[in-house]
Structure 1
Amino acid sequence: MTTINAATYPIHFEEKGYQELTSLVSERNYSSIFVLVDDNTSNCCYPRFMELFFTNKPMEVIQIEAGEVHKNIETCVGVWNAMTELGADRKSLLITLGGGVITDLGGFVASAFKRGIDFVNIPTTLLSMVDASVGGKTGVDLGVLKNQIGVFANPELIVIDAEYLQTVTPREIRSGTAEIIKYGMTHDIRLFNEIKDNDELNIVDLIHRSIEIKNEVVLEDPKEQSVRKVLNWGHTIGHGIESYFLENNKKEALTHGEAIAIGMVCEAYLSSKVLGFPENQVTEIKEAIVNIYGKVALYEEDFDPILKLMKHDKKNVGGEINFVLLRNYEDFEINCNASEILIRESLMFYVTYK
């Protein structure tokens, strides 16, 4: 697959990525290298990384616990302390090897350590390959509130190696697929059609196009002042649901993609009411999402806490909940508002689907 050039960094694929990483380390003459992994990628991904990356620079591995619940400032402090104890300086390089938690948190750790050191992202899940690792967003959660603390900071390069997908569960693949569906509905309907119409689809074939779309949007609006907000399609309600299931001990936590998938169903309903998005396409979205992800147990008594969490969404201004909504596939509008009544209706639209 051909290299994709972002504003200040390249996105390389497969073996070429490791070759370019080796060249980068040699050219920049880093004093030391730190590799950030979690419990899973330490065992499943780090051995492959070491087979393909060659350096004579001092290298240390820092391991954190896996999972969204550890994507917080306390974990960052632990990583900063470990780097300090291991002698990291302003000429050190941090390589993130993991999913969205690792790339988000690792980028933030690097951007703040000694006012900023270089970092490289090597995403190992589908979600992080097509979304989290690309675009320069870094950060951590504040309690259960998603990505409330962070900065925009670009890596030096990104390595996309689809072989790492052999190490993740089918559930994690489905989670990442939600972001590809998002790109399909907002920018290239072929992606959505291929996913919903093919039970035996090779999802790897869609990775390059998904990254192209995200990169095009980010190049136009690097810091989410306007059009980049489209990448939040499904995320306003989806993040509220994800946070609610994370904090509620009576609920099994959802993956990011599972929550965003519900969010796309609900926001398709809002789109039909606010912008006239065709009702047959609302039904199409709902049927496809339930077919791919199954039906999540959501009840009317869950609506109030979900709405409360939605009010902390980063896109909100002046207390108004802001949405990205669709007029049609590939035709979107940012900064849309919907009444609380409509939001409740959209959640009920999902809940009552048989």
Structure 2
Amino acid sequence: MSHSAANKGPVYFQEDGFIKLNTFLKEENPSKIFLLVDNNTHRDCLAFFSEKIEFQEAIEILEIEAGEINKNLETCSGLWNALSDLDADRKSLMINLGGGVVTDLGGFVASTFKRGISYINVPTSLLAMVDASVGGKTGVDLGNLKNQIGVINHAEMVLIDPTFLGTLPQTEMRSGLAEILKHALISSEDYWNKVTNLSGLTLEDLDGIIKESVEIKAKVVTEDPEENGLRKTLNYGHTLGHAIESYFLTHPEKTTLLHGEAIAIGMILATYLSKELQEFPEDKLKEISLKILDIYDRVEFSKEDIQKIIDLMKYDKKNSHGNINFVLLKDIGNTVIDCKVPNELIWNAFEYYQKA
């Protein structure tokens, strides 16, 4: 099964993906293959992947340290130097085997080395499968500011094999689930009901949910590849969620939040704001809040925390002309982009979250 994202970067699943990958390697015959991993995917995923790939020449393994804290220009510089030292040329190929940090950073390194070499994403985390590796967004953080440096440039293909999920801790699975919940909130109530009925879900159901989430994202990206309008809806919960994630990432006294944990908070806050500004139904706000808090632990915020998080929002990539732009909902599946939100309501949203 495959999906097209903006006429490039088809997504293939399981064995079909490895067949397509090996066909691509045979037909394109890259001069060299560079396989980017982090220390976790080197240990847990490389052997399985290596058994599946068919390429006559030696493959160069490039390894980075795992974690969002390493998603920066310093790591990129090390990789650009390694590619240069290993004689990479314009016909080389980079394969990114890992979670969102590896696919975001690896895609950016490939897209900028010698003005761009081809790359393929093989996501190994649930978050990367349903979000980070699909849609052509590449990039790195600038200090504590999420994804400030990057380009939109699609992978040659994305290969999704849920077998890799067997290597993930439950916290990482929950982190990925947040993006699935987001896809549900911006798409349809039926899908929301399906993905929040966790007690009835089987591993087979998860395969189908991953495919459905990829379809939702691919459809949006195909219609709006450069994020001029519709694609902004994929940022639901992210305006505050990214600011929360950045704040916790750079304050050592705080417990670092995974991306999905921060976005889960951001979605509750955004849904409260939707009730206040877009007449989103109050009963659905309560239901969404309870469902999310049933999955993710509540996080405490002091007044100082909230003020610093609000200050960080000015760096959000959706902002323009000095305005902070939110994605809000009129109802589940009915989005409104470029919404202005007064700071007073943001404070009220945090107060609601603390008590929900």
TM range (shorter): over 0.9
Partner of 2:69: 69
- 2:125 maps to 1:125: yes
Deviation at 1:3, TM superposition (A): 1.6
Determine the C-alpha separation between the residues in 1 that align with 2:260 and 2:9.
26
Partner residue of 1:248 out of 247, 251, 268: 251
Deviation at 1:40, TM superposition (A): 0.2
Give CA-to-partner distance per residue, 1:217-242, whole Å, 9 cap, x none: 00010010111000000000100100
Deviation at 1:200, TM superposition (A): 4.5
Give CA-to-partner distance per residue, 1:38-67, whole Å, 9 cap, x none: 010001000110111111023100000000
Gaps of 5+ in 1: none
Larger deviation, residues 226-235 vs 79-88: 79-88
Give CA-to-partner distance per residue, 1:116-165, whole Å, 9 cap, x none: 00000000000000000000000000011000000010111110000000
Deviation at 1:190, TM superposition (A): 2.6
Kindly indicate whether the alpha-carbon contact (under 8 Å) linking 1:270 and 1:346 is maintained by their aligned counterparts in 2: yes
Residue identity over aligned pairs, in percent, reads 49
**TM-score normalized by the length of structure 1:** 0.98
Deviation at 1:26, TM superposition (A): 1.1
Amino acid at match of 2:145: L
- 2:146 maps to 1:142: no
> 5 Å matches for 1:236-315?
236-315=239-318
Kindly indicate whether the alpha-carbon contact (under 8 Å) linking 2:184 and 2:195 is maintained by their aligned counterparts in 1: no
**TM-score normalized by the length of structure 2:** 0.97
Partner of 1:80: 80
Determine the C-alpha separation between the residues in 2 that align with 1:168 and 1:190.
28
Give CA-to-partner distance per residue, 1:191-221, whole Å, 9 cap, x none: 3212323325233330000000000000010
Over aligned residue pairs, what C-alpha RMSD do you find? Answer: 1.0
Deviation at 1:5, TM superposition (A): 2.3
Partner of 1:111: 111
Kindly indicate whether the alpha-carbon contact (under 8 Å) linking 2:195 and 2:209 is maintained by their aligned counterparts in 1: no
Amino acid at match of 1:201: L
Give CA-to-partner distance per residue, 1:225-260, whole Å, 9 cap, x none: 111000000000100100010011110110000000
Determine the C-alpha separation between the residues in 2 that align with 1:10 and 1:232.
22
Partner of 2:94: 94
Determine the C-alpha separation between the residues in 1 that align with 2:191 and 2:69.
31
Gaps of 5+ in 2: none
Pairs aligned (count): 352
Give CA-to-partner distance per residue, 1:250-295, whole Å, 9 cap, x none: 1011000000000000000100011100111111111111101121
Kindly indicate whether the alpha-carbon contact (under 8 Å) linking 1:30 and 1:57 is maintained by their aligned counterparts in 2: no
> 5 Å matches for 1:154-169?
154-169=154-169
Deviation at 1:18, TM superposition (A): 1.0
Give CA-to-partner distance per residue, 1:5-45, whole Å, 9 cap, x none: 22113211101111111111111121110000001000100
Partner residue of 1:321 out of 321, 324, 327: 324
Kindly indicate whether the alpha-carbon contact (under 8 Å) linking 1:185 and 1:329 is maintained by their aligned counterparts in 2: yes
Determine the C-alpha separation between the residues in 1 that align with 2:201 and 2:89.
45
